[in-house]
Amino acid sequence: MPEVTKPATPRCLHGLFQEQAERTPDARAVVAQDGEFSYAELDRRTNQLANYLQSLGIGPERRAGIALPRSAEMIVAALAILKAGGTYVPIDPAYPLQRFKYLAENSGVSVLLTHRAVPEGVNTQQIKVVPLESHWSKAATMPQHAPPSRVEDASLAYIIYTSGSTGKPKGVMVSHENVVRSTEARRSYYTIWPERFLVLSSFSFDSSVASIFWTLAAGGELWLPPEGTQQNIARIREFVRRGRITHLLALPSLYRAVLLHAGSNGLESLRTVIVAGEACAVDLPAEHFRHLPETLLFNEYGPTEASVWCTVYRTTPVAQSRSVPIGKPISSTGIHILDGQMQSVSPMEAGEIYIGGPQVARGYLGRPDITAERFVPNVFSEMPGARLYRTGDIGRHTADGNIEFLGRADQQVKIRGYRIELAEIEAALLEHPGIREAAVISRKERLVAYVVAKPGPEIDAADLRRFLRQHLPEYMTPATYITLDSLPLNANGKLDRQALPDPRPEESQNTYAAPRNAIEHRLAQIWAELLGVKQVGIHDNFFDLGGDSILGLQMVARTNQAGIRLNLTQMIDQPTIAEIAASFHAAGFGNAEIASDTSSTP
């Protein structure tokens, strides 16, 4: 696919929304728990807030943080920052305090939009905290027309943080040109534009950009379910049914769980489903078309550094023999598969995937060293200053011209769609005063931590889990912890990850402990059925028995059907039946009647 030059007329991301608001002012734009807005209402509110933000100094290359829950207010904040000419930086309000503070300070935000209270520990001498609930009265006095903006193609639109191999997350700087090209490529590729899009992605995850701005540029409705919905497959189905959702973007594993739970029941309105964020299982397309034969299913690929997506594959009911391809390059994007000397490999030969074109981001905020390492001169382009992004992903071209994803060239992994550098988790573990050495690997879609303790009091898994949750987001917290006398080394004296013991059920040191009450009996029955084992003891770790985050979602759905209210975060924090039952009783439910689960659908 040829890489094209940029257009002469600058275009900005919020301009795509502005054009649509002028075409369909009365159409509904956002549906959320905190309210609904038409395009005209959304335009007016964002204009007023944009004028207010400019009065606080927000303009081109000035950054404003957004630490808001999933809400219509969150969409208003993002559009307003863009209209003010600024750069938005999403910071998940659920992040641990240390990570929250690091992102706020490292990103250099001068204004932080929050919901109510000032986040603890934020340096209010350098960052003006704006609780929107109390500042709307000030914004409401501002003009209802858009403020003047000096935004250009190269101006930054947003900065999204990804896990860092140095132990700290790194901010990816994405310009207006980058993301406008990405959105316009989406509008030109997809034949069915979104009428009602259910946004499951976290706002701090780059796939939210695709959902939000594609929909608003197409005149569709954004449906924003409350936080936690993406961990509850029954609620996802209910939102699809109730909202007559036409478009859905989800992890392949999450979408599979929704299909297994719902079949076609409640999903009939879907016209287009996009899976992205992790490798698509080879049998998922067949499962999809068995339930929804008239619904299109696409497999997308693209890192944050390439503005969300760069290849796409339209799946068919015909089963793939090896894997589901990640497809072919989208418009204006060049994909190159190169060897170690940056030479193109032969067809069908594996190499590293490099991405070129106007969607390649500016680089990493404040990290010129890593930027130079990953963003290299584009020898395939005649455009001065053009660069290629080295993905670290391994792929190959297939006989029909599609690209097959083969894995990673380094220690980066993906868990539930989140890019995770194992070194960042290892660095956090080494901050624990009782840990001398640490290694982390990914096994069957779950993180396993191996530690060598210093002399002193014994450290258990619960202690390490609590410690990490103070430093890392939930999705980066290992499910399993194994203490070793020493880490295995290879002949060169480096860590031999292949020699780390694989936690298996038969290696469990727990003596079988039988369920003691109705809740524990019901949980043990559900676990045994989902995990395919004969019996589960109340002290057995769900993840050590072979569970993963998607089986965890199915388990949560089954337990909720049985009257045991649980979510995936609780499941990861309390991965044994005894812990779950104890918290259930502590919440005051006692020996409440447990519903019988006669459903054959997991």
Q: What is the pLDDT of residue 2?
A: 37
1.10.1200.10, 3.30.70.360, 1.10.150.120, 3.30.499.10: which CATH number matches 513-586? Answer: 1.10.1200.10
Where, residue-wise, is CATH 3.30.300.30 in the chain?
429-503
pLDDT reading at 585 higher than 90: no
What is the rounded distance in angstroms from the CA atom of residue 411 to the CA atom of residue 167? Answer: 13
Q: What is the pLDDT of residue 263?
A: 73
Q: Phi/psi zone of residue 277: left (φ > 0), alpha (ψ -120 to 50 degrees), beta?
A: left
- Return the minimum-mean-pLDDT range out of 299-313, 369-383, 439-453: 439-453
For residues 308 and 210, the answer to whether their CB atoms sit within 8 Å is yes
What is the rounded distance in angstroms from the CA atom of residue 30 to the CA atom of residue 563? Answer: 32
Model confidence pLDDT, tens digit, residues 393-426: 999 999 899 999 999 888 888 887 788 989 899 9
Where, residue-wise, is CATH 3.40.50.980 in the chain?
35-151
pLDDT reading at 7 higher than 60: no
Give the bridge partners for 415, in sequence order. Answer: 418
User: Is the pLDDT higher at 356 or at 9?
Assistant: 356
* CATH number of this structure's domain 429-503: 3.30.300.30
DSSP 8-state assignment for residue 193: -
Tell me what the mean pLDDT of segment 217-228 comes to.
93
Tell me what the mean pLDDT of segment 194-213 comes to.
94
CA distances from 536 to 252, 557, 562, 577 (A): 28, 19, 18, 9
CATH architecture of 35-151: 3-Layer(aba) Sandwich (3.40)
Q: What is the pLDDT of residue 596?
A: 42
Tell me what the mean pLDDT of segment 427-443 comes to.
92
pLDDT reading at 195 higher than 60: yes
Model confidence pLDDT, tens digit, residues 171-191: 999 999 999 999 999 999 999
pLDDT reading at 533 higher than 70: yes
Model confidence pLDDT, tens digit, residues 372-393: 999 999 999 988 999 999 999 9
pLDDT reading at 504 higher than 70: no
Q: What is the CA radius of gyration of the chain?
A: 24
Which DSSP string do the residues of 409-465 spell out, in sequence order? SSSEEEETTEEEEHHHHHHHHHTSTTEEEEEEEEETTEEEEEEEEPSSS---HHHHH
Q: What is the pLDDT of residue 6?
A: 41
Q: What is the pLDDT of residue 508?
A: 46
User: Is the pLDDT higher at 456 or at 37?
Assistant: 37
User: Is the pLDDT higher at 120 or at 516?
Assistant: 516
Q: What is the pLDDT of residue 87?
A: 98
Q: What is the pLDDT of residue 506?
A: 41
What is the rounded distance in angstroms from the CA atom of residue 49 to the CA atom of residue 23? Answer: 22
CA distances from 511 to 243, 411, 429, 536 (A): 48, 34, 28, 11
Which DSSP string do the residues of 97-134 spell out, in sequence order? HHHHHHHHHHTT-SEEEESSSPPTT--TTTSEEEEHHH
- Return the minimum-mean-pLDDT range out of 135-149, 440-454, 549-563: 549-563
Q: Read off the pLDDT band of 586 (50, 70, 90).
A: low
pLDDT reading at 502 higher than 80: no
Q: Read off the pLDDT band of 327 (50, 70, 90).
A: very high
Q: Read off the pLDDT band of 477 (50, 70, 90).
A: confident
Q: Read off the pLDDT band of 527 (50, 70, 90).
A: confident
H-run or E-run covering 583: helix 577-586
- Return the minimum-mean-pLDDT range out of 93-97, 123-127, 215-219, 265-269: 123-127
Q: Read off the pLDDT band of 253 (50, 70, 90).
A: confident
> Would you call 430 exposed, middle or buried from its count of C-beta atoms within 10 A (0-12, 13-18, 19+)?
middle
Average pLDDT score over the chain = 88
Strands 334-338 vs 351-356: parallel, antiparallel or unpaired: antiparallel
Give the bridge partners for 581, in sequence order. Answer: none
User: Is the pLDDT higher at 21 or at 536?
Assistant: 21
DSSP 8-state assignment for residue 503: P
Where, residue-wise, is CATH 1.10.1200.10 in the chain?
513-586
Tokens of 426: 């290892």
- Return the minimum-mean-pLDDT range out of 100-104, 241-245, 518-522, 585-589: 585-589
- Return the minimum-mean-pLDDT range out of 100-109, 396-405, 526-535: 526-535
Tokens of 324: 């589901």
For 282, phi then psi, to 5°, come to -65, -25
Model confidence pLDDT, tens digit, residues 117-169: 777 778 878 899 999 888 888 999 999 999 998 899 999 999 999 988 778 89
